[in-house]
């Protein structure tokens, strides 16, 4: 796989980036542990050392000292320079200390993307606090569970979410309540069209501390700088099963994937990064904030996804990089009069969450000219585990392991039995991005991480060139008449039908087969009323094995999505009674 990297100057670029901070980098090390089915990967994994001697906060502050006037963040036209953002986060850090927050204390961030989220994140990290991103879609019970499990005594939230928190406040350990109105950092005349909730939503939040009050104190936190092995985030994830668990992500985990992402993409200080994926998820935080700030770029931040606003931002700001998910790409190529937007400034677009259908990939590349880089990762691995090499991607694959990362496939029922090349097995991973463990759950940590190898819960295969293909999640497997069916495989087929805009495959009870395959489909507008569910069944019947094709199809006007915009398969399964 060495040939996949020929012609790329990622190592030279990384050396230039690191040189700004007086770091050192070792040359790429060729070769990795010999495995009988990994020999095709020899030389593909670079080993980078001595780049993690500082957490992202210190890297950011150093860059801010050297380039104080450079724009770090642009929120609908409201610009914040590196120097100003560093000063604001310093003030937030000082205020947190004044409120009694100390190293290791947990702070909940209950808000959508906004400058206040980033200010709080950097400020909290500067005093060694552990940040706990809380999905702003959470309702009372979900919020109570997370705040209680994490032991959060401080919460910082957007003011329109205060009523949700206030209704359950007495059931949480929270003592410090801070609210912010997102319009505090919104220009009077936004350069982009903001979502209507951004300009209309607010609440008086009686008795809470107002965020602007925290931005005037001086800070000298030399003696409390966090270490790389300190926990930076509790990123809640369901893991492979059960209730949500807090994955303990260290500052070292974050730095590894921030640096690796910058090197992989060839990130430069001149780059403009569109950040629209939620920062409360690592898939948004690493490529949308940590990597751009590490490489000295500018972040164009959007509160939430809106197709026209995204197109407007790419054209107006000449964005060079956009990390997103497949459903966003589908929305873009299906947007009316998409050709009137100039999207050619995009150089690379990271994407994940679900496989990108071939027609979507082709159409998106025609519209933008950008290299679509599919990758794969988990909350437990600080986002990326694998990425397709730029300009060497394989459609349908999630790429090869990123820097200093090893993967292998093991038997689905026996994690100690490695499967041969070409066979399907559970993907396990070892590397510097793997979490420290689950918060207050040593037993579940031991079940998930064995001898340094993290079980992903995903079934995959690897081709002869070492590219990884995700087949599906173990827990999503459908078993009609005892056969194994992976929903993603069937979804990839259904996407080939020209009428299908979006699809999700789930299992549904069947009196004879015990379980059968069901497809929920959103049709493209021009096909609504022109074909039936039975038409889709008959079409797929000739494309896939008899036990795999959907025996039941239901057309729906829309599918439920989670906080990151991915189709919420578990919700659909629950609604379907499976």
Handedness of CA 136, 137, 141, 142 (dihedral sign): negative
Q: Which residues contact 412 (CB under 8 A, 6 or more apart)?
A: 424, 425, 426, 459, 474
Query: What does the H/E/C string look like for 474-531?
Result: HHHCECHHHCCECHHHHHHHHCCCCCEEEEEEEEEEECCCEEEEEEEEEECHHHCCCC
Q: Which ranges in the chain are annotated with CATH 3.40.50.12780?
A: 56-462
Assess whether pLDDT exceeds 50 at residue 485. yes
Q: What is the mean pLDDT of the chain?
A: 86
Whole-angstrom distance, CA of residue 476 vs CA of residue 570: 9
Assess whether pLDDT exceeds 70 at residue 575. no
Handedness of CA 284, 289, 295, 297 (dihedral sign): positive
Whole-angstrom distance, CA of residue 372 vs CA of residue 350: 6
User: What is the secondary structure of 113-174 as a DSSP string?
Assistant: SSHHHHHHHHHHHHTTPEEEEE-TT--HHHHHHHHHHHT--EEEEEGGGHHHHHTTGGGS--
Q: Which ranges in the chain are annotated with CATH 3.30.300.30?
A: 477-575
Best CA proximity match to 20, nearest among 43, 47, 44, 54:
54
477 — pLDDT class (breaks 50, 70, 90): confident
Would you state the CATH architecture of domain 56-462?
3-Layer(aba) Sandwich (3.40)
Angle formed by the axes of helices 307-317 and 326-333, nearest 10°: 80
pLDDT for 42 equals 42
Structure tokens at 103: 């190293």
The CATH classification number of 477-575 equals: 3.30.300.30
Question: Phi and psi at residue 116, in whole multiples of 5°?
Answer: -60, -35
The DSSP 8-state label assigned to residue 276 in this structure reads -
pLDDT for 194 equals 87
Best CA proximity match to 106, nearest among 175, 55, 59:
175
Best CA proximity match to 523, nearest among 510, 511, 514, 536:
536
- Phi-psi label, residue 266: left if phi above 0, alpha if psi -120 to 50, beta otherwise: left
518 — pLDDT class (breaks 50, 70, 90): very high
Q: Find residue 211's DSSP bridge partners.
A: none
Instruction: State the chain's maximal CA–CA distance in angstroms.
Output: 70
Q: Find residue 71's DSSP bridge partners.
A: 81
Mode of pairing for the β-strands spanning 176-180 and 154-158: parallel
Assess whether pLDDT exceeds 90 at residue 384. yes
The structure's pTM equals 0.80
564 — pLDDT class (breaks 50, 70, 90): low
């Amino acid at each position: 796989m060495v040939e996949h990297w020929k012609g790329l100057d990622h190592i030279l670029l990384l050396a230039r980036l690191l040189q700004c901070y007086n770091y050192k980098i070792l040359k790429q090390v060729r070769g990795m542990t010999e495995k009988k089915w990994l020999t095709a990967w020899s030389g593909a994994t670079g080993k980078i050392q001595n780049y993690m001697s500082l957490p992202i906060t210190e890297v950011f502050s150093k860059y801010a000292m050297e380039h104080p006037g450079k724009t770090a963040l642009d929120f609908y036209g409201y610009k914040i320079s590196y120097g100003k953002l560093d000063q604001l986060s310093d003030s937030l850090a000082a205020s947190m200390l004044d409120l009694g927050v100390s190293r290791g204390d947990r702070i909940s961030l209950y808000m959508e993307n906004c400058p206040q989220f980033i200010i709080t994140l950097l400020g909290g990290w500067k005093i060694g606090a552990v940040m706990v991103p809380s999905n702003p879609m959470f309702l009372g019970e979900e919020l109570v569970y997370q705040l209680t499990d994490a032991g959060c005594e401080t919460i910082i939230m957007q003011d329109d979410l205060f009523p949700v928190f206030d209704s359950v406040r007495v059931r949480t350990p929270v003592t410090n309540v801070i609210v912010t109105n997102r319009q505090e950092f919104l220009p009077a005349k936004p350069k982009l069209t903001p979502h209507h909730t951004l300009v209309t939503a607010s609440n008086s939040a009686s008795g809470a501390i107002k965020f602007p009050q925290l931005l005037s104190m001086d800070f000298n936190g030399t003696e409390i700088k966090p270490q790389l092995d300190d926990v930076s985030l509790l990123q809640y994830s369901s893991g492979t099963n059960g209730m949500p668990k807090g994955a303990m992500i260290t500052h070292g985990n974050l730095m590894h994937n921030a640096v690796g992402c910058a090197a992989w993409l060839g990130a430069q200080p001149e780059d403009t990064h569109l950040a629209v994926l939620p920062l409360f998820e690592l898939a948004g935080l690493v490529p949308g904030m940590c990597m751009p700030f590490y490489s000295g770029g500018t972040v164009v931040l959007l509160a939430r996804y809106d197709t026209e606003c995204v197109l407007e931002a790419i054209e107006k700001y000449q964005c060079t990089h956009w990390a997103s998910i497949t459903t966003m790409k589908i929305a873009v190529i299906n947007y009316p009069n998409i050709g009137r937007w100039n999207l050619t400034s995009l150089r690379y677009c990271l994407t994940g969450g679900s496989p990108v259908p071939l027609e979507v990939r082709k159409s998106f590349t025609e519209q933008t000219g950008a290299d679509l880089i599919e990758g794969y990762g988990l909350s437990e691995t600080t986002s990326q585990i694998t990425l397709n090499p730029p300009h060497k991607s394989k459609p349908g694959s999630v790429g090869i392991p990123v820097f200093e990362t090893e993967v292998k496939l093991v038997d689905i029922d026996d994690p100690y039995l490695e499967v041969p090349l070409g066979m399907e097995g559970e993907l396990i991973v070892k590397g510097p991005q793997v979490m420290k463990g689950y918060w207050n759950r040593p037993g579940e940590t031991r079940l998930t991480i064995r001898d340094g190898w993290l079980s992903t819960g995903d079934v995959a295969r690897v081709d002869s060139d070492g590219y990884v293909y995700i087949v599906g999640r173990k827990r999503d497997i459908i078993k009609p008449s005892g056969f194994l069916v992976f929903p993603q495989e069937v979804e990839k087929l259904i996407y080939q039908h020209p009428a299908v805009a979006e699809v999700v495959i789930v299992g549904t009870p069947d009196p004879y087969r015990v379980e059968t395959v069901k497809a929920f489909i959103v049709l493209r507008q021009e096909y609504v009323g022109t074909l039936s569910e039975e038409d889709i069944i008959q079409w797929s019947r000739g494309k896939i094995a008899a036990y795999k094709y959907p025996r039941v199809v239901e057309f729906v006007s829309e599918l439920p999505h989670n906080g990151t915009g991915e189709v919420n398969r578990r919700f659909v399964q629950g609604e379907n009674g499976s």
